[in-house]
């Protein structure tokens, strides 16, 4: 259902879609509310501005106009002084200001004709036109009275103008302004009603829309949540299966791209783990085979037969001390070979092992064999892989010393270099030519197929293979040799790679 509901989108795109679905309608609702408030505010401010202008003239215009023209009528002022503006009547701080009637008319005409906003054909517009008409007639009457004030014998006419025209027109203007104010207030009340009605309608629409947004948002968020949690739970269960040893466990692909990246990475990791497990099993199998063949090589029937034959020969000769020594050395030799099934022993035990072997061979090859073991005392408590020196020593004896005229000497050294333990098995035997040495190095590096146990290099190859499996790339065997001069085998050991062992 989730896969049908949502196409193959990234998590970021799905969250963006959810935000879009919720934010756009809510933003529209907010903008509509702001528009309502703005429209009402603009209309309200316009009405209030108009009322302010109208009220200013409703309060002072009639009184100022009648007073100024009355003073002109009775001849107490010279009307020509109005050409300079308003007239200050008196010199004290209580002096009266007579407003210029023509300036008052021009100011009122501008205020009602240009400043006040009106809609043609409305009641307010009709009253404004009435006010402007009164102003035009009033301007004519004022101009006529000002002209008459400069002529003799015009007092009666000016009284008539003041009584019938000026006072009447000012009263009519005041009535028009009062009616205009009434209509503007009525307009404001109507605007308030429209605003309330529109607000209620929009609130109902907004509630329905908000419910729809919440339902859609909840459904979409649930779908997105499931599209994340279901794959993650599946990936978690797959990881648990892999952790419990089910190497066939593979993560399922889903429509969420981020999860697919994790699933592909997890599956790649699972494949690599399976390959490593198989490689480890194969290496363990090869290692056990190598150890078995090494054990078989150590329990060499010819070596055992010759040693026992020597013991019998010495016993018949009455040399009981040598019989005891050789029997003890043979016992120590095989005790180390078996070592209770353990893979690691101390360097002291390894030294004892090669001493037992060399002491036995020294009795058999007394005239041709000499040896020297020099291992640093502080190394002897270190633990290493067992039987890594004896096969090298045996190889030096049988293929280096034994074939040399006059015999030779084997020197075994052990010391540290940095974090590595180094062993050297050096002989002054027959040595090897360059071709034989190169073939041996390639075999020890694993570049050639493993030699059979019957070949001369099996012991060294077996040691190299076991070191490589236990110690990894941190350890290696190097061989240097010169024909008719001798051979030196150097073993470098680092730390074992994840090996569990128990000391003997």
Kindly report the three-state secondary structure assignment for every residue of 340-383: HHCCEEEHHHHHHHHHHHHHHHHHHCCCCEEEEEEECHHHCCCE
> How many whole angstroms from its chain centre is CA 184?
62
Q: Measure CA of the first residue to CA of the last residue in the chain; give whole Å.
A: 63
Q: Where are the domains of the chain?
A: 2-225, 299-493
Q: What is the pLDDT along the chain (504 residues), one digit of tens a residue?
A: 344 444 566 777 777 777 777 778 888 888 888 888 888 888 888 888 888 888 888 878 888 888 888 888 888 887 787 878 878 877 777 777 888 888 989 998 998 888 888 888 888 889 889 999 999 999 999 989 888 888 888 888 888 988 888 889 989 988 998 998 888 888 888 888 888 888 888 888 888 888 888 888 788 778 777 777 787 888 788 888 877 877 777 878 777 677 777 788 888 888 888 788 778 777 776 666 666 555 545 545 556 656 666 666 567 666 667 677 777 777 767 666 655 557 788 999 888 888 888 888 888 777 788 899 999 999 988 898 888 888 899 888 888 888 887 778 999 999 998 888 999 999 998 889 999 888 888 888 876 554 444 445 667 887 888 888 778 777 889 999 999 889 999 999 887 764 444 343
Per-residue model confidence (pLDDT) at position 422: 93
Give the Cα-Cα-Cα angle 168, 112, 184 (nearest 5 degrees).
95
Strand order of the β-sheet with 369-375 is 369-375, 408-417, 420-427, 486-493, 476-482
Contact 410, 397 (CB under 8 A): yes
Contact (CB, 8 A) for 421 and 384: yes
Q: pTM of the entire structure? A: 0.45
CA-based max dimension of the chain: 187
Q: Which of 351, 413, 391, 385 is nearest to 494 (CA)?
A: 385
Please report how many Cα atoms fall inside a 13 Å half-sphere around the Cα of residue 476, on the Cβ side: 9
Determine the Cα–Cα distance for residues 427 and 437; give it in Å rounded to an integer. Answer: 15
Pick 299-493's CATH classification: 3.30.565.10, 3.40.50.300, 3.40.50.150, 3.20.20.70: 3.30.565.10
Give the separation between CA 317 and CA 486, rounded to whole angstroms: 36
Query: Is residue 290 a contact partner of residue 466, using CB atoms and an 8 Å limit?
Result: yes
Residues whose CB is less than 8 angstroms from the CB of residue 232 and which lie 6 or more positions away in sequence, other chains included:
259
Q: Do the beta carbons of residue 87 and residue 98 sit within 8 Å?
A: yes
Q: Are strands 383-385 and 369-375 parallel, antiparallel or unpaired?
A: unpaired
Cα distances (angstroms) measured from residue 441 to each of 399, 420, 432, 460: 16, 21, 12, 10
- CA distances to 411, 481, 487 from 374, rounded to whole Å, are 8, 21, 17
CB atoms within 10 A of CB 412: 23
Q: Are strands 408-417 and 369-375 parallel, antiparallel or unpaired?
A: parallel
Tokens of 126: 């009709």
Q: Determine the pLDDT at residue 294.
A: 55
Q: Of 71, 139, 67, which is closest to residue 103 (Cα–Cα)? A: 139
Local structure of residue 251 (DSSP, 8 states): P
pLDDT confidence of residue 318: 64
Neighbour count for residue 122 (Cβ, 10 Å) = 13
Decide: residue 117, CB within 10 A, 0-12 exposed, 13-18 middle, 19+ buried: exposed
Question: What token pair was written down for 191?
Answer: 């605007």
Whole-number pLDDT of residue 119:
83
Q: Residue 331 is encoded by which pair of tokens?
A: 């016992």
**Residues linked to residue 477 through DSSP beta bridges, in sequence order:** 491
For residues 85 and 100, is the Cβ–Cβ distance under 8 A? Answer: yes
From CA 198, how far away is CA 418, in angstroms rounded?
Answer: 89
**Bridge partners for 87 per DSSP:** 98
């Amino acid at each position: 259902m989730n896969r049908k509901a949502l196409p193959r989108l990234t998590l970021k795109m799905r969250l963006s879609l959810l935000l879009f679905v919720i934010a756009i309608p809510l933003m529209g609702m907010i903008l509509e509310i702001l528009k309502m408030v703005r429209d009402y505010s603009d209309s309200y401010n316009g009405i209030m501005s108009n009322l302010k202008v109208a009220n200013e003239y409703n309060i002072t215009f009639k009184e100022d106009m009648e007073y100024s023209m009355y003073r002109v009528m009775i001849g107490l002022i010279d009307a020509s002084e109005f050409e300079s503006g308003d007239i200050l009547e008196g010199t004290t701080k209580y002096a009266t200001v007579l407003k210029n009637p023509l300036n008052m008319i021009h100011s009122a005409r501008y205020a009602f004709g240009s400043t006040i906003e009106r809609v043609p054909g409305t009641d307010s517009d009709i009253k404004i036109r009435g006010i402007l008409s009164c102003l035009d007639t009033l301007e004519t009457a004022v101009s006529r009275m000002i002209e008459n004030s400069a002529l003799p014998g015009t007092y009666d006419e000016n009284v008539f103008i003041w009584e019938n025209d000026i006072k009447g027109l000012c009263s009519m203007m005041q009535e028009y302004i009062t009616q205009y104010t009434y209509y503007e207030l009525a307009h404001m009340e109507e605007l308030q009603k429209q605003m309330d009605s529109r607000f209620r309608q929009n609130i109902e629409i907004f509630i329905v829309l908000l419910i729809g947004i919440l339902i859609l948002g909840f459904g979409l968020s649930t779908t997105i949540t499931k599209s994340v949690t279901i794959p993650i739970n599946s990936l978690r269960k797959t990881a648990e299966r892999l952790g419990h040893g089910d190497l066939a466990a593979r993560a399922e692909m889903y429509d969420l791209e981020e999860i697919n990246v994790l699933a592909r990475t997890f599956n790649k990791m699972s494949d690599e783990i399976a390959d490593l497990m198989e490689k480890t099993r194969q290496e363990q199998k090869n290692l056990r085979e190598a150890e078995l063949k090494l054990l078989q090589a150590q329990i060499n029937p010819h070596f055992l037969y010759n040693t026992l034959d020597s013991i019998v020969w010495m016993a018949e000769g009455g040399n009981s001390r040598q019989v005891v020594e050789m029997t003890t050395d043979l016992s120590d030799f095989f005790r180390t070979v078996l070592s209770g099934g353990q893979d690691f022993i101390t360097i002291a035990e390894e030294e004892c092992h090669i001493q037992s072997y060399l002491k036995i061979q020294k009795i058999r090859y007394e005239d041709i064999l000499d040896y020297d073991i020099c291992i640093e005392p502080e190394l002897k408590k270190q633990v290493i892989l067992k039987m890594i020196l004896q096969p090298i020593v045996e190889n030096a004896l049988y293929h280096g010393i034994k074939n040399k005229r006059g015999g030779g000497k084997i020197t075994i050294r052990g010391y540290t270099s940095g974090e590595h333990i180094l062993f050297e098995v050096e002989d002054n035997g027959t040595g090897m030519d360059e071709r034989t040495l190169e073939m041996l190095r390639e075999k020890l590096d694993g570049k050639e197929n493993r030699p059979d146990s019957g070949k001369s290099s099996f012991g060294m190859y077996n040691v190299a293979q076991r070191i490589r499996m236990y110690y990894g790339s941190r350890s290696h065997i190097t061989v240097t040799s010169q024909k008719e001069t001798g051979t030196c085998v150097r073993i470098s050991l680092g730390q074992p790679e994840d090996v569990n062992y128990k000391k003997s």
